[in-house]
Amino acid sequence: MLDKIRSKICEVKDFPKPGIGFKDITPVVQDAATYKYVIDRLAAWGKKKKPQLIAGIESRGFLFAAPIAHKLGLGMSIIRKKGKLPRKTVSVRAPNEYAVEHFEMHADSIQPGERVLIIDDLIATGSSSVSAIDLVNKLEGKVVGFAALVELSFLKGVENIKKAHPEVDIFALIKFEE
């Protein structure tokens, strides 16, 4: 099944800018059986971490975080780009491969000490992942894991996350070496 999932992920050359090979995961979520398998696998890994809350990263991370939260019977908090949340927020600087942005969460979205599993679609350089972990920590949550569908291992993102947050377990279902 992992080979089937890998074959569904399309590379789009020079998107969103020249030199980038964008991994398009939309064919994975368009196929019901594949999507279900991915959610089941990510949820099974996450369940072992005993989270109390799922946090999803805007926007493709929501495609995985929401069904995982539902499957585990948990609530979900959202990590969004600056200026998209209507109430009082807490923010962190979130540089990524394309720009320097900021991530925000509602100030009341995580309770102190709450066990949080962060979900995203893809780990590239790890910078967005580190920022998301920093944000949950800033809200006094305890990050018990970080899971994604894809890891672009040639960009050393997991290594960068581990440097910043060695206490966080990381899981990616599919790895691309190049």
- Angstrom CA distances, 89 to 7, 108, 126, 154, stand at 39, 8, 23, 34
Q: Residue 178 has what pLDDT?
A: 82
Condensed to tens digits (0 to 9), the pLDDT of residues 71-83 reads 999 999 999 999 9
Q: Residue 82 has what pLDDT?
A: 95
What's this model's pTM, rounded to 2 decimal places?
0.96
Residue 133: Cβ-neighbour burial (10 angstroms; 0-12, 13-18, 19+):
buried
Q: Residue 97 has what pLDDT?
A: 67
What residues in the chain have per-residue pLDDT under 70? 97-98
Q: Residue 94 has what pLDDT?
A: 86
Q: Residue 29 has what pLDDT?
A: 98
**Cβ atoms within 10 A of the Cβ of 59, count?**
12
| In contact, 105 and 28? CB cutoff 8 Å | no
Q: What φ, ψ does residue 121 adopt, rounded to 5°?
A: -85, -35
Which domains, and CATH codes, for the chain?
Answer: 2-176 (3.40.50.2020)
Q: Residue 144 has what pLDDT?
A: 98
CA angle 13-124-169, nearest 5°?
155
